[in-house]
A and B are shown apart, each in its own frame.
Chain A
Amino acid sequence: MTASSSNDAFVEFERVQKSYDGETLVVKDLNLTMPKGEFLTMLGPSGSGKTTCLMMLAGFETATHGDIRLGGTSINNIPPHKRGIGMVFQNYALFPHMTIAENLSFPLEVRKLGKSEREEKVKRALDMVEMGAFGGRRPAQLSGGQQQRIALARALVFEPELVLMDEPLGALDKQLREKMQFEITDLAHRLGITTVYVTHDQTEAMTMSDRVAVFDDGIIQQLAPPDTLYEEPENSFVAQFIGENNTLEGVVQEINGEVALVKLDDGELIDAKPVNVGVGDRTRVSIRPERVEYNKDRLKEGTHTIKAEVLEFIYMGDIFRTRLRVAGNDEFVIKTRNAPDQVRHEPGSMIEIGWLPEDCRALDA
């Protein structure tokens, strides 16, 4: 990544720290560079510092240390209303005493635009979110999804170059959320807006973003496109946090180029791809349930296999989910596609499982 070249950098965090009480850091040494037009998601459990980062960017919190730049200029000392950043809030924050049209007109009014120009822009913004007929209503008369669209339109109506969204879909039901995820990304890409999106929902982050910054403990654990994040997690927090994951603990015995031999705690040997670990280190081996193979014919010659006892077989329609006991771990899951020739393992039976070494990552313990 050429993230450090600041030519195309639009949003930059440089060595940013934030503390509320002067004793603990909520954000520790944040460095982040975003090019124009990118959809970046800050993902993390609550208390990981992601919302604080967003609020610092919006100007509602000041950084204790470090520099935040927008379009090359430092915005540390610029008050929020002069930053020109659109923002969508968790509970929409639509002004209840104004109609929808008045809500949308508000940012234009404070910018002292003429009446006809305001009406023109409000209409265009409402049409953009397919809410043209609702201008005269009050926020309370709209459903959650409709309010969400209005909040989006209001954040975009004054044509900001950067839009921040703080868990905007958190209050919607699952179906509506999926629909809105698509609408938001579609809109963002169509208008070419740079977007910073905060969520704790990993599916949302995976489906919407160009890149995802996984936050934990005030640090970005990994910043990568969704597929990289899922398939090549750099540490066990990311591996655990993104998607379903099986872990086995052990010690790295030897490393031969791209393959490490890991001795699990119960003595079994397996192959894995070493990531940031050296020989003799304790490691947490991570493998996705759908990458586990039980059919020996499909495994490469010479791959290490490991014995497993079938504990539970769950029929889920499109897939089968089989829970195994592997190397003392009772929560080891494999997922297989429901195909005509697929084997349904009986609980209590013993099988042998293995995987391609590149699918199995030996991460930090």
Chain B
Amino acid sequence: MTDTTSDGPMLAADGTPLKKSLARALRLQKMRALMLIAPLLLFVLFSFIIPIFSMLSRSVENDIVADTLPLTVVELQAWNADSGELPDEAVYAAFVADMVVAIEAKKHTRLGTRLNYEQTGMSSLFRKSGRKIKRMDPATDGPFKEALIDVDKKWGDVETWRVIKTHSPRITNGYFLNAVDMRRTPEGAQAQPEDKQILVKLFGRTLIMSLIITGSCILLGYPVAWILANLPMRTANVLMILVLLPFWTSLLVRTSAWKVMLQQQGVINEVLVWLGMVADDARLVMINNQTGTIIAMTHILLPFMILPMYSVMQTINPSYLRAAKSMGATNWTAFWRVYFPLSIPGIGAGSILVFILAIGYYITPEIVGGTKGVFISNRIAYHISSSLNWGLAAALGTILLAVVLILYWAYDKIVGIDNVKLG
């Protein structure tokens, strides 16, 4: 290590100190490596990481009440929501002052929409009242308490003000409570009315169906992977193309094809009726329900199970099986005690892949799932594009992400992530 001579540090051929010259050479290498990955890094940062964080932050963000009704929110702080009495004149005056500004900026309907998530009727209340409040002058037209109750008697309802006060903080857990079928009330978190409790059930269904799909993929994929791994390379490559074929076909086409196959006037039902196995008036319902989703998604996700299984099985030396047999094990014992345990890393990798893909799947359940076979992601999509309740969509998405991470962690604890081989 002490390669320095008596007259100073080691010098490179051009006379610079060796250490400096080495650092320069390495810095160049590092810079080059960084430059090579920079485009992807930036792309991922701007198109993936930042949007995801901004999306997830919407699940707790609640600026709209405080931004639209700044004066009202301040005044409401003095009001005791549990007193059962209406707020005093100051709150009404502040509300009118806020609303006039908001109506000018056309922001009041948005606030109505936001509060409508919490209590139905708020949207129309804000829209209707807006037209009348617009004509009021906050400086002169007082007192407003009576005037507002005149405009709509809901302004004389304590509940309306309680909703506004409950949702005035800038950070809220309201969306997360909604996501698990609860809601934020002045008394704290409470269960939603029973007819609105759908999301927990949907989460449960998504998990169970993803597990069933993963299970079917294991059952169907294992023998295929085994055959591929034991065939000569050339034949295996040809068959591998068949396994990969679905990847080259549009997802939409494949899913629609399942519609053709599975519907009541479809290929399978027609054949079964023709064979007399199913009565004409009792055709099987295999589409627009959970069966349809499970069948179509198992087919679509199967390659993701077969590929990791195949690559793990390829590495299992055939001499293990021979050794087991030479020691007296039957074919089944040799498989079960020796081959199967060695193939578990492949099953694990395939299962994680398929399960995580399945739990967030959207298109296939949307097309073949009907109402009973949809996943939580379909609900997220609905809130993103139809109900425009992005906060709830973000909360659902965050929960989904957390569930996947927890399952991943549990898998690591039980099976060990080191046992996962993707190739």
Contact = CB atoms under 8 A, between A and B. Distances in A.
Interface of A: 58-60, 79-87, 89-91, 93, 95-97, 106-107, 110-111, 154-155, 158, 164
B328 A84 contact: yes
Nearest to A89: B319
Contacts of A110: 327-330, 333
Given A87-B322, A93-B319, A110-B329, 20 more contacts: A60-B325, A80-B326, A81-B325, A81-B329, A82-B328, A83-B326, A85-B326, A86-B326, A89-B319, A91-B319, A93-B323, A95-B324, A97-B342, A107-B327, A107-B329, A110-B327, A154-B327, A155-B326, A158-B327, A158-B328
A80 B322 contact: yes
Contacts of B319: 89-91, 93
B322 A95 contact: no
A107 B338 CA distance: 12
Interface size classification for chain B: 10 to 19
Interface string B174-192: 0000000000000000000
A251 B93 CA distance: 130
21 contacts: A81-B325, A81-B326, A81-B329, A81-B334, A84-B328, A87-B322, A87-B323, A89-B319, A89-B323, A93-B322, A93-B323, A95-B342, A97-B341, A97-B342, A106-B329, A106-B337, A107-B327, A110-B327, A110-B328, A110-B333, A158-B327
Interface string B297-337: 00000000000000000000101101111111111011001
7 closest A-B pairs by CB: A107-B327, A93-B323, A87-B326, A93-B319, A80-B325, A110-B329, A89-B319
Contacts of B337: 106
Nearest to A112: B328
Nearest to A84: B328
Contacts of B327: 81, 86-87, 106-107, 110, 154-155, 158
B320 A107 contact: no
B162 to A, nearest CB: 62
A60 B322 contact: yes
A96 B329 CA distance: 17
Contacts of B326: 58, 80-81, 83, 85-87, 155, 164
A197 B337 CA distance: 28
Interface in B324-371: 324-331, 333-334, 337-338, 341-342
A79 B331 CA distance: 10
Given A58-B326, A154-B327, A158-B327, A95 B338 contact: yes
Contacts of B325: 59-60, 79-81
Q: Is the interface of B mostly helix, strand, loop or mixed?
A: helix
A154 B338 CA distance: 15
Nearest to B316: A96
B324 A106 contact: yes
Contacts of A82: 328
Most chain A Cβ neighbours within 10 Å, of B320, B334, B342? B320
A60 B320 CA distance: 13
Nearest to A87: B326
Contacts of A79: 325
A181 to B, nearest CB: 22
Contacts of A91: 317, 319
A84 B323 CA distance: 12
A159 B396 CA distance: 63
Interface in B176-233: none
Nearest to B330: A81
Contacts of B324: 95, 106
Contact of B322 (A83, A89, A96, A111): A89
A89 B320 CA distance: 9
Most chain B Cβ neighbours within 10 Å, of A58, A90, A97, A111? A97
Nearest to B337: A106
A95 B330 CA distance: 16
Contacts of A60: 322, 325
Nearest to A104: B327
B330 A96 contact: no
Contacts of B342: 95-97
Contacts of A154: 327
A116 to B, nearest CB: 20
B328 A107 contact: yes
A87 B327 CA distance: 8
A278 B331 CA distance: 55
Nearest to B333: A110
A333 to B, nearest CB: 40
Contacts of A96: 342
Most chain B Cβ neighbours within 10 Å, of A87, A91, A110? A110
A58 B324 CA distance: 12
Nearest to B322: A60
A85 B323 CA distance: 10
A85 B326 CA distance: 6
B332 to A, nearest CB: 10
Nearest to B341: A97
A233 B317 CA distance: 39
B329 to A, nearest CB: 5
Contacts of A83: 326
Nearest to A154: B327
Interface in B46-92: none
A155 to B, nearest CB: 8
A184 B36 CA distance: 56
B283 to A, nearest CB: 48
Contacts of A58: 322, 326
Nearest to A82: B328
Nearest to B329: A110
Most chain A Cβ neighbours within 10 Å, of B320, B325, B341, B342? B325
Interface in B284-308: none
B138 to A, nearest CB: 78
A209 B338 CA distance: 33
A69 B333 CA distance: 26
A87 B324 CA distance: 10
Nearest to A166: B319
B199 to A, nearest CB: 42
Nearest to B344: A97
Contacts of A97: 341-342
Nearest to B321: A93
A131 B415 CA distance: 30
Contacts of B331: 81
Interface in B109-137: none
Contacts of B329: 81, 106-107, 110
